């Protein structure tokens, strides 16, 4: 019996080049990317592997020979698996002095670099490719807004309140001026991507508006600074319930949302007038749901409005539901679960469903800022 002669492999791999166009290569790619979000990372990136396993990533999967090629094609580093390159990219993006003449429209997602005469065609291609998914990631806005009270929060106490009561209330975090600014922005159509009339959809009575990207600096600051602390609580809960954990920084969560097809920002402002209310609900905007959210009271109860309490209902297995009421003051925040939390029973921890709403406003107008951390489809 004779053996067949060996021949070199003729397999060809489909990679993306520096011009953003696919080509065939005899060697496989060293980095993976997501075509819609224009993010590249390692082939063993835990965020990418999680979404590949769920079937949400493969249709937009691309590969690169190296980092230089990925950057030239208009992709940025992944915050989860390439944290240092991501920090460098973010720092360069925030500092216009480092942009070396790149057209402003090419900055979204592209690795900044000089544009020569030979590169102008490639720069135009990068601009068109990268600006299309305008809501893929939250753009880096102006300098961080000061919220000094965030530094005084006792996150251990807040976590204990969440574990025992299902919600936790903070001291006043926003100043009266910051609350006033958030109320005034409600009437600025350019600040929002969507407006919902609750009565038309039988959600209640009132209106709420979802912010467009870029988010207001205050909202962006609250999202970025509160998330790492809440992620510690969320990941502890995930361990108790046997669920997937979440990235430790908000940028990583935004990237995971993008990989799941969730690109739209979810922070919102709500306005209720007399008789206004909100039915019990859960703020789930896609398969990827971060389990905690925060509301900020923008008015003074009993002065600007009466009634309008925040209502939380815990649906306990084989028991009657437990209602809870919170009455935050001006600038105070309430942290609460989006849809469920862990609770210990006789046989260990189990999920307890949570819903939230607003009781009827009797007089005046009630305004609330809602900060939800995951993005929507």
Express each pLDDT in 341-370 by its tens digit.
999 888 889 999 999 999 999 999 999 999
Chain mean position to CA 158: 21
Mean pLDDT of 74-82: 86
Cβ–Cβ under 8 Å, residues 45 and 81 = yes
SS3 call for 259: helix
Q: Is the pLDDT of residue 113 over 60?
A: no
Q: Name the residue with higher pLDDT: 205 or 316.
A: 205
Assign 94 a pLDDT band (cuts: 50, 70, 90).
low
Q: How far apart are the first and last CA of the chain?
A: 60
Structural domains in the chain plus CATH codes: 13-131 (no CATH), 148-372 (2.60.120.620)
Q: Name the residue with higher pLDDT: 373 or 2.
A: 373
Q: Name the residue with higher pLDDT: 7 or 101.
A: 7
Express each pLDDT in 51-73 by its tens digit.
777 666 677 889 999 999 999 99
**pLDDT for residue 93:** 62
Which range, of 80-84, 104-108, 172-176, 279-283, averages the lowest pLDDT? 104-108
CA distances from 132 to 99, 148, 351 (A): 21, 37, 40
Mean pLDDT of 160-165: 94
**pLDDT for residue 143:** 52
Express each pLDDT in 43-56 by its tens digit.
998 878 877 776 66
**pLDDT for residue 117:** 37
Bin 241: left if φ > 0, else alpha if -120 < ψ < 50, else beta. alpha
Q: Name the residue with higher pLDDT: 8 or 55.
A: 55
Tell me what the pLDDT averaged over the chain comes to.
Answer: 84
Assign 318 a pLDDT band (cuts: 50, 70, 90).
confident
- For residue 138, count CB atoms less than 10 angstroms from its CB and return exposed for 0-12, middle for 13-18, buried for 19 or more: buried
Express each pLDDT in 216-249 by its tens digit.
999 999 999 999 999 999 999 999 999 999 999 9
Taking the C-alpha atoms of residue 367 and residue 80, their distance in angstroms, rounded to an integer, is 35
Q: Is the pLDDT of residue 77 over 60?
A: yes
Mean pLDDT of 135-163: 78
Token representation of residue 87: 């920090």
């Amino acid at each position: 019996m004779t053996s067949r002669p060996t021949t070199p492999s003729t397999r060809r791999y489909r990679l993306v080049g520096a011009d953003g166009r696919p080509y065939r290569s005899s060697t496989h790619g060293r980095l993976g990317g997501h075509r819609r979000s224009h993010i590249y990372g390692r082939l063993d990136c835990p965020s990418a592997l999680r979404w590949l396993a769920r079937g949400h990533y493969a249709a937009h999967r691309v590969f690169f020979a190296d980092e230089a090629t990925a950057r030239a094609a208009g992709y940025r580093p992944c915050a989860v698996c390439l944290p240092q390159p991501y920090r460098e990219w973010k720092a360069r993006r925030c500092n216009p002095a480092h942009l070396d003449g790149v057209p402003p429209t090419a900055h979204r997602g592209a690795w900044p670099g000089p544009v020569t005469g030979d590169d102008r065609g490639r720069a135009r291609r990068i601009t068109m490719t990268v600006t299309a998914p305008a809501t893929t990631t939250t753009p880096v806005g102006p300098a961080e807004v000061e919220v000094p009270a965030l530094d005084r929060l006792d996150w251990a106490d807040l976590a204990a309140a969440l574990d025992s009561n299902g919600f936790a209330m903070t001291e006043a975090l926003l100043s009266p001026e910051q609350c006033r600014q958030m109320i005034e922005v409600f009437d600025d159509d350019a600040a929002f991507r969507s407006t919902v009339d609750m009565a038309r959809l039988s959600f209640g009575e009132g209106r709420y508006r979802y912010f467009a990207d870029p988010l207001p600096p205050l909202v962006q600051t609250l999202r970025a600074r509160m998330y790492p602390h809440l992620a510690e609580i969320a990941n502890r809960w995930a361990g108790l319930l046997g669920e997937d954990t979440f990235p430790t920084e908000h940028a990583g969560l935004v990237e995971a949302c993008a990989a799941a097809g969730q690109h739209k920002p979810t922070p919102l402002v709500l306005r209720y007038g007399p008789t206004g209310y909100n039915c019990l609900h859960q703020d789930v905007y896609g398969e990827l749901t971060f389990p905690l959210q925060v509301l900020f009271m923008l008015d003074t109860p009993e002065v600007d409005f009466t009634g309008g309490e925040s209502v939380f209902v815990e649906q306990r297995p084989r028991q009657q539901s437990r209602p809870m009421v919170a009455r935050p003051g001006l600038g105070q925040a309430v942290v609460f679960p989006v849809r469920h939390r862990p609770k210990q029973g006789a046989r260990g921890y189990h999920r307890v469903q949570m819903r939230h709403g607003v009781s009827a406003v009797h007089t005046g107008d009630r305004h609330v800022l809602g900060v939800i951390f995951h993005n929507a489809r």
